[in-house]
């Protein structure tokens, strides 16, 4: 199956555009399986370097994770400061403590005035960006309803439990 949406400059991506393999994750900052996938992806990026391009799309499951959408919006806010990947890492590293107060604290690393993030969350300034990313996942193949490691490797959809991902994701790099 192919992804409905290709990776675009609007996506959050690390690695060269012409990398041999592109890995796309639809993730939720409050999902424990996504949290388990985070260090796996970091290891893949370190191991495969310029061979891998990693793209992250927000896919918060707000019904199951009440802080997921706010965390995704905080990441989008950080992106406007050029700090998406720093916030992305901070959110996963503090996943079990997610709260509005923590989001504001993490935002101060990127913006001295944490009130700006709080205001953006209250006004849902970045909600459209998160919903757009979420709708891409829901409208895509298999009507994705969960995460993670809801991933795509070069446009081919793969739905893997995070523990299995570490072993399985080696195959595109070794052939």
Amino acid 86: pLDDT: 94
User: How far is Cα 25 from Cα 174, in angstroms, rounded to an integer?
Assistant: 20
Classified as helix, coil or strand, 57 is strand
Dmax over CA atoms of the chain, in Å, equals 50
Q: Give φ, ψ of 141 to 5 degrees.
A: -55, 145
At 95, list the tokens. 């996943």
At 29, list the tokens. 């900052």
Please say whether the beta carbons of 98 and 29 come within 8 A: yes
Q: Judge if pTM exceeds 0.85.
A: no
The helices-and-strands tally (H runs, E runs) of the chain is: 8, 5
Amino acid 174: pLDDT: 45
pLDDT < 70: residue spans in the chain: 1-5, 110, 112, 131-175
CATH code reported for the domain at 12-174:
3.40.30.10
Amino acid 72: pLDDT: 95
Amino acid 173: pLDDT: 47
């Amino acid at each position: 199956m192919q992804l409905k949406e290709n990776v675009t400059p609007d996506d959050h991506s690390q690695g060269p555009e012409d990398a041999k393999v592109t890995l796309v994750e639809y993730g939720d900052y409050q999902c424990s399986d996504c949290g388990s996938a985070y260090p796996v992806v970091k290891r893949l990026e370190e191991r495969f370097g310029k061979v891998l391009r990693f793209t992250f799309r927000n896919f918060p499951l707000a019904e199951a994770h009440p802080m997921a959408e706010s965390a995704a919006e905080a990441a989008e806010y950080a992106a406007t400061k050029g700090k998406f990947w720093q916030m992305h890492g901070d959110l996963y590293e503090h996943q079990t403590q997610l709260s509005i107060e923590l989001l504001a604290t993490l935002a101060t690393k990127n913006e001295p005035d944490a009130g700006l993030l709080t205001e953006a969350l209250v006004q849902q300034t970045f909600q459209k960006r998160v919903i757009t990313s979420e709708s891409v996942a829901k409208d895509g193949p298999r009507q994705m309803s969960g995460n993670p490691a809801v991933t795509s490797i070069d446009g081919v959809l793969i739905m893997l439990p995070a523990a299995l991902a570490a072993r399985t994701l080696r195959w595109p790099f070794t052939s």
